[in-house]
Structure 1
Amino acid sequence: GIKTKLTETDLRKALSAFGPVGEIQRFLESDGIHTNGQGSVTFGTLSAAESALAASPITIGTSRIILSDLKKPTKA
């Protein structure tokens, strides 16, 4: 899960160690401010996504995030 204290910048910096990072979404509670502990990350390459998934859980500061699913892009 994604802790509320982790920013998109924190996530991007840590996950970019595995390769290019595209979009990061933190899913928010109904208050629109606090994260519900989930989100999604789009990596620039399949190998970056696979490397990050293999390294999960990933420690960022005092928090740990767990990457639990890999969805390959669909053709438009």
Structure 2
Amino acid sequence: MFNQHDEDIKTVLTDMKMPGMNGTTLLRTLRATNPNVRLVATSGVNTAGLAQEALAAGATEFVAKPYTTLDLLRALSNS
């Protein structure tokens, strides 16, 4: 879906832990497809380690779970 609409999608919010493809692979793939897309990653597990991993993989922001609406809005406005 992203490949078909990458110019229309401005921001992607993704969890770092998913079945199938992990967040790091997804972030790298999306960043390679569209270098201008804003990527916000999130996780509730090992947040310090995953935050560094997400940012190294191309995320513009990382939000640790549990997060508030204000936390998410800040991350989206900063990305």
User: TM-score surpassing 0.5?
Assistant: no
Select the structure that is richer in strand: 1
TM-score, normalization: structure 1?
0.30
Select the structure that is richer in helix: 2
TM-score, normalization: structure 2?
0.29
